[in-house]
A and B are shown apart, each in its own frame.
Chain A
């Protein structure tokens, strides 16, 4: 399988915590023969019901040919519950597995991923090149993060980003942006942090 597919996952738990969902998805992906370069969490639901968190995974391919698409989704749902949706870039019907109540969340995650709007990236291209402090101007040169978005004030052109070992950029209008804020020592740091001690131990 060489085509790029979007996988949407909606856990049956109605889980709201995006960190919990990303943890579950990462765990899931380690157990399946898939390759991916982009994993996102998405807020789905609404219309009077509590919002919840779903996930999307951009699949670059399956390792080997042990699983067909239905087999993959069935395995996912078996491991996780909920529903899974797999769609290619066409407007044709997607492959769906799981209770209909949750397919809508998985479909919404795929739709957001296709639009490039609303996803919060857990894994993204170039992530491994953002492990050390670097000038903010270099960030779009070495990664798929298009821009840094200061939550407060303006971003100095010569500012240095300290990634703090944890980056969760989000999609806005088809591009990944990273929310940043003033950090210790005149740096900028991601607004979302894994652990304060991982970054602020100065």
Chain B
């Protein structure tokens, strides 16, 4: 199936030459390699072209990257996980780490909610638990983070690379800039109050973090906005503001929220809620320019991302990356048997508020239906990193060398963009930029390794199609609340159903390029699409996430000179 080429597309290209040629897959052998590095069952952790080389490299040899053709390690992770140090969660840090490893993750960020009790009591306790977890499993990168109540906005992951003053930095940031703490201490009427003073506190917080990084208090620190469209309180100008407030701290957002089990119907043992716990109506702090269609997930992803030519595209059209990810947001995991330990009174928020913690969880319940999956069980954020290190993963996230994958729809994706116009596969990859001469051709090669093993639901996913999406880079947005990029289009749809485990190569050529543009990918199992190949809105109480699988890439930018 090929899409029609829209005639008004602003960067010229004539005909593509897509074809899919099967190649023998070797995902299994790579998976065995992975088992040697502690990523058992990942299946998602390596780029087919490059990752195997890196994983097999002798110990101590630092894989190279950041230049076209150099190998990256593809490291799977989750930047949004809650523990007993959140007033609404239950698990130990170590439990999440164990599950993350079991489900193939290489990195994990602990992000308990910002709150007065958390700031006062929880941060050091969390640091101790993380230190113990790192010692127990050195292969898993466990970051210390926070789910920040952005003043005037949504929640966000903030996390740091380990450093001499990481705990102090997190504590001071939470004390001075967390919306819940600000509200509790009378500095805001409420965390989300939609005022200029609240927004300025958010930007000041990001500048504080950047200053701590510059001063060496933490080796690195980044922020990603979470469940962005859930309540409509992250306006377009706020998202741009997070990006621009401080150098390289506000780097992106969840392209897909966690809580992906929440839409499982009651008849199937779920809670029958909205996928992602979306499905809200605007409140007094919601951005008035948002229509009600934005408040739902579509194929499990946020409308900012699923709308071709939507808000995310309008930011990419500025020529700047803004990384999208997927996370678990795990609080209580679907069909698990844990409850908070101790007496009933010790499982209450009143207890939490005096301790910043709950007692160790006890596994003595009947399996409980909830909205969450364990980290890695459903979603993976795949980061192309120059090495298996805390700072390398963060830099990969910052540079948008990232794929967001649900349900192991693909074992690996390797997007290559070659501005020399040859069919070479050594072009730049996701998150990178390349320069093309005006009037030249730009070749795109997409290598997709189809899954060879069932996902954690026991299904062998079938990738039905891949869309190549592109749009012109038009420079800084004149309207900071712009939420559309009208010239961004699906330029090609590839039908890719092939045998499991095979690597499919898809090719496309932009001809006679005349202006700078970006391109990105999405793919799905093809079971829930509208007539234009877009994801359907997730139905209230009837959104089984396992029969609606998608992956999204971040962009490649092509600067035409």
Task: Tell yes or no: B513 within 8 A of A by CB.
Answer: no
Interface presence of A5 (CB below 8 A): no
- Given the known interface contacts A18-B283, A51-B194, A152-B293, the answer about A202 and B265 at a Cβ–Cβ threshold of 8 Å is yes
Q: Which residues of A contact B195 (CB under 8 A)?
A: 48-50
| A181 with B540: CB separation less than 8 A | yes
Query: In chain B between 250 and 305, which residues have their CB closer than 8 angstroms to a CB of chain A?
Result: 265-267, 271-274, 279, 281, 283-285, 291-293, 295-296
Contact partners of A192 in chain B: CB under 8 A: 281
Say if the beta carbon of B539 comes within 8 Å of chain A.
yes
Inter-chain CA distance A40–B291, complex, in Å, is: 21
- Indicate if the CB atoms of B537 and A201 lie closer than 8 Å: no
Give, as a whole number of angstroms, the nearest-CB distance from A161 to chain B: 13
Given A14-B189, A50-B190, A191-B279, A200 contacting B540 (CB threshold 8 A): yes
Q: Which residue of chain B is the closest to A185 with respect to CB atoms? A: B542
Min distance, Cβ A48 to any Cβ of chain B, angstroms: 7
- Are the CB atoms of A202 and B266 closer together than 8 Å? yes
| A170 shortest CB reach to chain B, Å | 9
Interchain CB contact under 8 A, B284 and A183: no
Please determine whether B285 and A196 come into contact, CB atoms closer than 8 angstroms. no
Closest CB in chain A relative to B202 CB, distance in Å: 15
Q: Bits for B189-203, please: 1 = Cβ < 8 Å to A, else 0.
A: 110011110000000
Given contacts A51-B284, A51-B285, contact A183 B540 (CB under 8 A): yes
| Contacts of A157-202 to chain B: CB distance below 8 A | 179, 181-185, 189, 191-193, 196-197, 199-202
Bound-state CA distance A200–B371 (Å) is: 14
Q: Are A181 and B296 in contact (CB under 8 A)?
A: yes
Residue B310 CB within 8 A of the other chain: no
Contact code string B178-198 (vs A, CB < 8 Å = 1, else 0) = 000000000001100111100
Set of chain B residues within 8 Å of A197, measured between Cβ atoms: 266, 271-272
Q: Do the beta carbons of B193 and A50 come within 8 Å of each other? A: yes
A43 to B196, CA, bound (A): 18
Min CB–CB distance A179 → chain B (angstroms): 6
Task: Note all chain A residues with C-beta closer than 8 A to B537.
Answer: 152-153, 181-182
Q: A151-B293, A196-B541 are in contact. Are A179 and B281 (CB under 8 A)?
A: yes
A14, A16, A152, A202: the one within 8 Å of B285 (CB): A16
Query: A63 on the interface (CB 8 Å rule)?
Result: no
- Are B295 and A151 in contact, with the CB atoms below 8 A? yes
Q: Distance in Å from the Cβ of B430 to the closest Cβ of chain A?
A: 30
Contacts of A200 in B (CB 8 A): 265-266, 272-273, 540-542
Q: Which residue of B is nearest A183, CB measured?
A: B540
Contacts of A101 in B (CB 8 A): none
In the complex, whether A17 has a CB less than 8 A from a CB of chain B is yes
How far, in whole Å, are A197 and B292 apart by their CA atoms in the complex? 22
**B291 proximity list for chain A (CB < 8 A):** 151
Asked if residues A53 and B272 are in contact (CB atoms below 8 Å), the reply is no
Which residues on the B side are within 8 Å of A43 (C-beta)?
A: 284
Partner of A182, one of B273, B285, B539: B539
Does chain B have a CB within 8 A of A52?
A: yes
Residue from B273, B281, B293, B540 within 8 A of A189 (CB atoms) = B540
Report how far A19 CA is from B362 CA in the complex, Å: 35
Find B540's partner among A18, A49, A196 (CB 8 Å cutoff).
A196
A53 to B284 CA separation, bound complex (whole angstroms)? 7
- How far is the CB of A187 from the nearest CB of chain B, in Å? 9
Could you tell me the distance in whole angstroms from the C-beta of A52 to the nearest C-beta in chain B? Answer: 7
Report A51-72 CB contacts with B as 1/0, cut-off 8 Å.
1110000000000000000000
Q: How far is the CA of A139 from the CA of B295 in the complex (A)?
A: 25
| Smallest beta-carbon distance A10→chain B, Å | 13
> Which residue of chain B lies nearest to A197 when distances are taken between CB atoms in the complex?
B272
Complex contacts, A16 vs chain B, CB 8 Å: 189-190, 193, 283-285
- Assess the A183–B539 pair: CB atoms within 8 A: yes
**Nearest residue in A to B542 (C-beta to C-beta)?**
A184
Q: Which residues of chain B in 280-334 are interfacial with respect to chain A, using CB atoms and an 8 Å cutoff? A: 281, 283-285, 291-293, 295-296
Query: A164: shortest Cβ distance to chain B, in Å?
Result: 9
* Minimum distance in angstroms from B354 CB to a CB of chain A: 25
Residues of A within 8 A of B541 (CB): 183-184, 196, 199-202
Q: Which of B513-538 contact A (CB under 8 A)?
A: 537
On whether the beta carbons of A191 and B193 are closer than 8 Å, the reply is no
Which residues in A have their C-beta under 8 angstroms from that of B293?
151-152
Q: List 9 A-B contacts (CB under 8 A).
A: A48-B195, A183-B542, A184-B539, A189-B540, A196-B271, A196-B274, A196-B540, A200-B273, A202-B541
**Can you add 9 more A-B contacts, CB < 8 Å, to A51-B284, A153-B537, A193-B279?**
A16-B190, A43-B284, A152-B293, A181-B279, A191-B281, A191-B295, A196-B273, A199-B541, A202-B542
B residues neighboring A (CB under 8 Å): 189-190, 193-196, 265-267, 271-274, 279, 281, 283-285, 291-293, 295-296, 537, 539-542
Interface residues of A (CB under 8 A from B): 14, 16-18, 43, 48-53, 151-153, 179, 181-185, 189, 191-193, 196-197, 199-202
> 3 smallest A-B Cβ distances: which pairs?
A200-B541, A200-B272, A151-B292
